[in-house]
Amino acid sequence: MDGLADQAGRLQEMSCRKALLELDRRKEINLPKVNRHYAFQKVNKPAEAPPIAEVSCELAELGDVEIIRVTTRFHSKLWRSMLEAHHYLEVGSHAGAQLRYLVRSEYYGWIGGLSYSACARRVESRDEWIGWTEEARKRNHTFVINNSRYLIAPTVRVKCLASHVLAKCQTRLVDDWERVYKYRPVLRETYVERGRFSEAVIGQLTGSMLEARKVEDEKEQVQRSKTFMLCRCKRNGRRCCVVVPMAKYMFAKEWHKKSPRDWIEAELEEQNWAMHD
């Protein structure tokens, strides 16, 4: 673990818990047995996905395409149900900082969803492209965020919609991230599995990317060819990543304000926080 506190000075409680569980799994420490059950351990039945229209039209015919950040229980259940029903990776598990969004058409209703989360600490292709030292990687990897899920419902077939949604989300993503986590990311990464998506779809995504490289994923002993892509959130984002320490202007001016302890609290309990004493 790089440190016990994040950029906003909050203790990384969840990371500490995960580290302790991993040490216990390796039998390097012995944690006491859990003798009580908690509500979050209950596996809830997935909510039914909302009906999604069959759409085949021009982009303009969708009306206004709205990007809505998930901040309520209703939107959270809606997002999860859509991903479980229509995304080949389903919801998955994403630890650490993350933001989720829903995509809504003015005329056709809900048509998709996205999520951004903390990036993997090591990715060979990415690390080679950034060119950062080991020290810079350890200190600055949080400034790279991952587009961990992206869904346009399979019944929605609209040319250029994928790139349009990404562009609209990109205009607000950095500000949203700063509002919740008190620092501004500088690079955004994503991975697209080749063979599952057409070259036209990949072309829409790579059009605004800085770098696209093939990487191999041997997870679960199945080799899958993916395209790794990076996009700037800040003009000199790549250069910022190699500087140790990261420039002070990357942090929010009000970093000292008390912030949500984790992404769950941030999404479900948006409010004005009091200042620390």
Chain-centroid distance of CA 36 in Å reads: 32
Res 31: pLDDT: 84
Q: Which is higher by pLDDT, 104 or 271?
A: 104
Within a domain: 10:
no
Within a domain: 19:
no
Instruction: Tell me what the mean pLDDT of segment 2-19 comes to.
Output: 67
Res 194: pLDDT: 67
**What is d(CA 69, CA 71) in angstroms, rounded to the nearest whole number?**
6
Q: Which pair of structure tokens corresponds to residue 135?
A: 């020290």
Highest mean pLDDT among 88-92, 171-175, 271-275: 171-175
Residue 272: pLDDT band (50, 70, 90) is: very low
Q: Which is higher by pLDDT, 38 or 256?
A: 38
Within a domain: 178:
yes
Q: How does pLDDT run across 183-226, given as a tens digit for each residue? A: 999 998 887 776 666 656 555 555 445 444 444 444 433 445 56
Instruction: Tell me what the mean pLDDT of segment 121-137 comes to.
Output: 89
- 58 pLDDT above the threshold of 80: yes
Within a domain: 114:
yes
Output the domain CATH number for residue 222.
3.40.630.30
Within a domain: 27:
no
Instruction: Tell me what the mean pLDDT of segment 144-157 comes to.
Output: 93
Residue ranges making up the domain that contains 169: 52-268
Strand, helix or coil for residue 248: helix
Instruction: Tell me what the mean pLDDT of segment 45-54 comes to.
Output: 77
Within a domain: 142:
yes
Q: How many domains does the chain have?
A: 1
Q: How does pLDDT run across 158-171, given as a tens digit for each residue? A: 999 988 999 899 88
User: What average pLDDT does the structure give for the chain?
Assistant: 76
Report whether 108 contacts 62 (CB < 8 A).
yes
3-class SS string, the chain = CCCCECCCCCECHHHHHHHHHHHHHCCCCCCCCCCCCCHHHCCCCCCCCCCCCCEEECHHHHCCEEEEECCCHHHHHHHHHHHHHHCCCCCCCCCCCEEEEEEEECCCEEEEEEEEEECCCCCHHHHHHHCCCHHHHHHHHHHEEEEEEEEECCCEEECCHHHHHHHHHHHHHHHHHHHHHCECCCEEEEEEEECCECHHHHHHHHCCCCEEEEEEECHHHCCEEEEEEEEECCCCHHHHHHCCCCCHHHECCCCCECCCCCHHHHHHCCCCCCECC
- 89 pLDDT above the threshold of 50: yes
Measured CA angle at 120 (ends 146, 202), to 5 deg? 40
- 27 pLDDT above the threshold of 60: yes
Within a domain: 61:
yes
Res 201: pLDDT: 59
Helices (H), the chain: 13-25, 73-86, 124-130, 134-140, 161-181, 199-206, 237-242, 263-268
Full-prediction pTM beyond 0.85?
Answer: no
Within a domain: 4:
no
Res 42: pLDDT: 55
- 55 pLDDT above the threshold of 90: yes
